Structures are given as structure tokens and as C-alpha cells.
Structure 1
Amino acid sequence: MMRPCGRDLFELIPKRELRIDLERAAKVLQKSGFEISERSELVLTIANDQDISVFPNGKIMAFPVKTADEAEKVGNNILGTLEKDKKCIKYL
């Protein structure tokens, strides 16, 4: 599910319940060329063309994005990268 949360900000919520290991996700994303700007137990922030926040429950916030299609591409890119490492995402 995706919804706008303000001007140029979208929230992407996974259709399935899941958990993301943020520590492992940071390593996988860095190896794939993403720049990690903040890492904690609660959020992983990526600073590339957009500021992207990834939460343990799979929610992704992306800014700035102009359209729902652009937000969906951002989310699919992040989740697709994380799914390459089977231990990053646990589907519940």
C-alpha cells in the first residue's frame, strides 16, 4: 500500500507482514551502492537521489518523490535489493 504523506513525501507499507534486520540491511544496501546516512534499531536512512527511511516493519518513507509511480519504483528497488539476502527480510 502506498499513500502520500505530504508534499513530495510517500509512505510505502508492505502488503505482507514482515520484519527487516536493519543491521544486515545496511550492509547489503551499502554493498549495492546505497549511501547509509543514519542507522539505529528503529530506522535505517539512505541518502541517494531521495532520502529514504526503512523501518523494521517494512515501512518505507521516500522524499522527495513527485508521483506514486516514482515512490513505488523506490520501494521496489530497496526491497528487491534486500530480498537478494535471504536473511534480511523475514516474512511472517
Structure 2
Amino acid sequence: MATFLKVVSGVYLFVVWLVFVGALRTPAPPTIGSDLLFHLGVFLAAVCFSIPAVILFAFGQMVGELRSIRHYSRQQAEHLKAMRAYYEPHGG
């Protein structure tokens, strides 16, 4: 699931910035006035649309990290159980 979330967020991010590059190649509509204002607005829109992808990627990273933390804590518990069985006196 973590890999899926990272891939989906990466594809979404790629599409957003691909649209941004495409919008930079088009001239500004006559109602806006200047190309600089149009390009600045397009850039701010691309940044705003990129925020969900960043959040989704971070959530995917957390899911992956939690899985590995759970795995390592389970391994450590099994190791401690084996050490206790070896070192604790056997009632007898």
C-alpha cells in the first residue's frame, strides 16, 4: 500500500507540473494583461495542486515506516523471549 500511495502521488505530481509547463507555453489571455501575472498565477496554482500529492506521499512513507517498525519490534520481542528462555533458571 505504501508503494501504491507513493506511485499515485508521483504520477499526480508529474501531471500537475506537466500542465504547468504546458500553461507556460501558452500566451496570457487578454483579460489578465501581462504574461508575468498569468505565469505567476499558474505557478501558484501548480504549487497549491502539488500540496495533496506531498501529503499523500508523506502518508505513504508513514505507512511503510510503521510496517517496518512493527516488524522490528516483533523480531526484538522474539529475540528477548529466546534470551529469557536461555538465561532464566529452569525451575527444577
Look at both structures and tell me which one has the larger radius of gyration over its CA atoms: 2
Point out the structure with the larger helix share. Answer: 2
Point out the structure with the larger strand share. Answer: 1
Structure 2 length as normaliser, TM-score?
A: 0.29
Structure 1 length as normaliser, TM-score?
A: 0.29
